[in-house]
Amino acid sequence: MNILVTNDDGVLAPGLALLADVCRGVGDVTVVAPDREQSGTSHSLTLHRPLRPTHRPDGGWQIDGTPTDCVMLAMQALMPERPDFVFSGVNHGPNMGEDVLYSGTVAAAMEAVTLGVPGIGISFAGHQPETMATYREPLLELLRRITEVRNFPEQMLLNINLPRVPAAEVRGIQVTKLGSRYFSESITRMKDPWGREIYWIGGGTITWTGGENSDHLAVAEGYISITPLHMDLTNYSLLETVRGWSLEG
């Protein structure tokens, strides 16, 4: 089994090393990852300059581009054989609710699905590498079960979030839906050294909603959350409503 491993935290991130190590327990691994932090790049592509892949001494590749660039280059240029699965992560920080629209981690899995390969994004809802490292055995067991699935559904990716507690304290696994989160006060106004006004996006206060069976609630209660996502963003329940606006003709 051939497995492509990538991320959005960069090729030196501890979460990438953990995921690659776990994936070697189920197949042959190729690592293709950004050469630097690419969080929040979503599904963006680098179109206005060439990309320069660098073959690393450890056998992996680093790319001066986005996670989506990495998956595209890996599958269409760098890997001698098409991967059977693409795993992205382990991200430092959760990717739940609307985060999936911004996340480079999830976007890499999404690009895999676009190219016809099952994609799985994995995130850790904390920032402690030593705690994340405790998940090696649970992740290995979970990845074994995922890679044994026959007839993996097309146009579906899995978004997995690990709680911030040590693996020994995990209460189980729940299959969940996306919750919803709202950022307040997430823009900080500053001045640069020349007195010009600048703005920094990030931080602020997060309010979660979504309730029972949502990803954020499962993770907050100490469960591993697995959310199946699909590529078709069509709101089918509103097709007839919009047709009723008499826009067609």
Give tens-digit pLDDT for 118-157.
Answer: 999 999 999 999 999 999 999 999 999 999 998 999 999 9
Residue 196 lies in a domain: no
**pTM metric for this prediction:** 0.94
Residue 152 lies in a domain: yes
| Residues near 92 by beta carbon (within 8 Å), at least 6 away in sequence | 9, 13, 14, 15, 124, 127, 129, 132
| Residues near 135 by beta carbon (within 8 Å), at least 6 away in sequence | 18, 90, 124, 162, 167
What b/e string do you get for 43-66 counting C-beta neighbours within 10 Å, with b at 16 or more? beebeeeeeebeeeeeebbbbebb
Give residue 64's pLDDT. Answer: 98
Q: How far is CA 162 from the centre of its chain?
A: 12
Give residue 209's pLDDT. Answer: 83
Residue 183 lies in a domain: no
Give the pLDDT band of residue 210 (cuts 50, 70, 90): confident
Strand-pair category, 119-124 with 156-162: parallel
Angle at 216 between CA 103 and CA 135, to 5 degrees: 75
Give the pLDDT band of residue 202 (cuts 50, 70, 90): confident
Domain of 47: which CATH number? 3.40.1210.10
Residue 202 lies in a domain: no
Structural domains counted in the chain: 1
Residue 109, classed as helix, strand or coil, is: helix
Residue 106, classed as helix, strand or coil, is: helix
The pair of structure tokens assigned to 175 is 């299959």
Residue 206 lies in a domain: no
- The candidate with the shortest Cα–Cα distance to 164, out of 131, 213, 189, is 131
- Residue 121 domain boundaries: 2-178+211-243
Evaluate if residue 183 carries a pLDDT over 80.
Answer: no
Residue 87 lies in a domain: yes
- The candidate with the shortest Cα–Cα distance to 135, out of 13, 218, 22, is 22
Residue 205 lies in a domain: no
Residue 79 lies in a domain: yes
